[in-house]
Amino acid sequence: MPSPPPQSPPPQTAPGRPGRITLADFRAAARELLPAAAFDYLEGGAADERTVRWNAEAYERLALLPRVLAGLPGVDMRCTLYGTELSSPVLLAPTAAHGLFHPEAEAATVRGAAAAGALTTVSTFSTLTLEEIGAAATGPWWFQLYVQRDRALTEDLVHRARAAGARACVVTVDTPVTGLRERDLRNGFALPSHGAPVNLAGAAAGSGPDAAAPANPGIHDPRIDPAVGWSDLEWLRTVSGLPVLAKGIVRPDDARRAAEAGIGVWMSNHGGRNLDTAVAPLTTLPAVAEAVAGRVPVLIDGGVRRGTDVVKALALGADAVAIGRPYVWGLAADGAEGVRATLRALHRETELALTLLGAPNPASLTPDLVGPAWRSPQ
């Protein structure tokens, strides 16, 4: 028998302007609206951008194995992270310089995320102050930290973030130096004034009492400390009074060490923007989840473009999934409403995928629902 025709979504759940149905639609809109150099800054990765491609291909190489006749009356998409209940297990990863993509910058981002019931992770390199972002936020947000050479500045950033309303501190651990971003080099790209990191104003020289000169000034940022170690994460948890997550883990041994210290695990390769040919996080997710063994949350980003990608990551052991470039496409296309619409589109796709898999909620997703796409399941 032919399958029934797809039903139109109710008006209150429509994901955005007519014609913008998928994340790819928002990407097309952003590409049309943004200057070419700004779009390249957003889209670009390191060197040959192999890791950027691998991140998405890792999801394409997996197939779903749905259960039937599950008798589901409905699906509950809610997720709880560090005591905060969210409408779905999808949150916003930190991305820099939102002023480059929309005049309202991070204020639009946090408003759009809150309207979708999602959590925002605010970058150290935001173009609004932490206080401005906190005032605009009507939903939960976390603060992403690059540990500065000046530890007094680092501590001040964390205290400001907490005072402004941040509920966790996400420490980027995969960026002792930034990657070889050849698109930006070819474009001669530099952040304009409306994309400048205002929270680091006056810190460019790294002149604080704890600052040290970079060992190789040719590749090192004068602000970001390349010598961050595990003890710094313990220190940050003490001085911040917040949950701390390490963003940039892809190895099971690193994940185990983080879990043993009570540090949350955020799997990432920085969207392919740092070390080209670094592994796609999804490929090591099962081993990382096994190493963590439920002691701390496991988050993952990189290459998520569909709701089916979300359920694959959750089935393989992630507690939540983060998107980066896609919500910035929405921001560029339509400000806060674009951010909300991208999240709603992904929410709808994820809800559909859960229903068709026979899974009543994200926690019910299990590894047996996922298999390799290049051979038939036995």
Q: Mean pLDDT for each consecutive 10-residue tract of the chain (378 residues)?
A: 41 55 97 97 97 98 95 94 96 98 98 98 98 98 96 96 98 93 94 91 50 46 85 95 98 98 98 97 98 98 98 98 98 98 98 97 97 68
Question: CA-to-CA distance for 315 and 361, rounded, in angstroms?
Answer: 11
Q: Which of 98, 102, 220, 270 is catalytic?
A: 270
Region of 199 please: left (phi>0), alpha (psi -120 to 50) or beta.
alpha
Question: CA-to-CA distance for 314 and 77, rounded, in angstroms?
Answer: 12
Cα distances from 88 to residues 77, 237, 288, 303, 347, in angstroms, run 5, 27, 22, 18, 7
Architecture of domain 14-362: Alpha-Beta Barrel (3.20)
Over residues 184-217, the pLDDT tens digits come to 999 999 989 898 999 998 665 443 333 334 444 4
The separation between CA 270 and the C-alpha centre of its own chain, rounded to angstroms, equals 9
270 among known catalytic residues: yes
Q: The tokens of 115 are what?
A: 């309207």
Over residues 209-244, the pLDDT tens digits come to 333 344 444 555 777 888 899 999 999 999 999 999
Question: CA-to-CA distance for 201 and 219, rounded, in angstroms?
Answer: 21
What's the confidence (pLDDT) of residue 2?
A: 45
